[in-house]
Amino acid sequence: MSEVSRISDEEYARRESYLRDPILPFTWFNPYTWAPHYRLSSAGLGMGLLLIYNYNRFMKRPFTVSLVPQFAVAMVSLGGVGFFWGKFQAHYRKLEAAYVDHYMNLHPEYYDQFKDRAGRPYSQILEPWYPRRGYYPKFDE
């Protein structure tokens, strides 16, 4: 039974690279293939343009009134905030992974159960479950 659930080292490496590497190649028209800081900066720029449009509509002015200064403010403020927020998130994720790896190196005894990559049958992994229901009182212990 356990031979069926064993995976080779090559298959393990393939699965890990599939989960960690970007699956889709970069394209301009698909924002899900962009880096996170570019994605967030474009979202901030889009929100800035929407803000400019709604502000001009609320004030009953044409969209093109003082468009260049407003666009510059939206691009610098919201686009920059999105860009640096994406950079911060990437840095935070790297730090978090480094902290976890460091803790795992300091305390390997807590993580021995995760080193079994070969696989085990479910009977060794799952614990048995015996339901205790109120309408079966004669079977309670």
Measured CA to CA, the distance from residue 115 to residue 105 in angstroms comes to 13
Contacting residues for 122 by C-beta, under 8 A, at least 6 apart: none
pTM: 0.50
Closest CA to 39 of 53, 51, 22, 52: 22
Show pLDDT as tens, one digit a residue, over the chain (141 residues). 445 566 778 877 777 766 555 567 778 888 878 888 888 888 888 888 888 888 888 888 886 777 778 777 777 888 888 888 888 888 888 899 889 889 988 988 877 665 555 666 666 667 767 666 666 556 555
CB atoms within 10 A of CB 37: 17
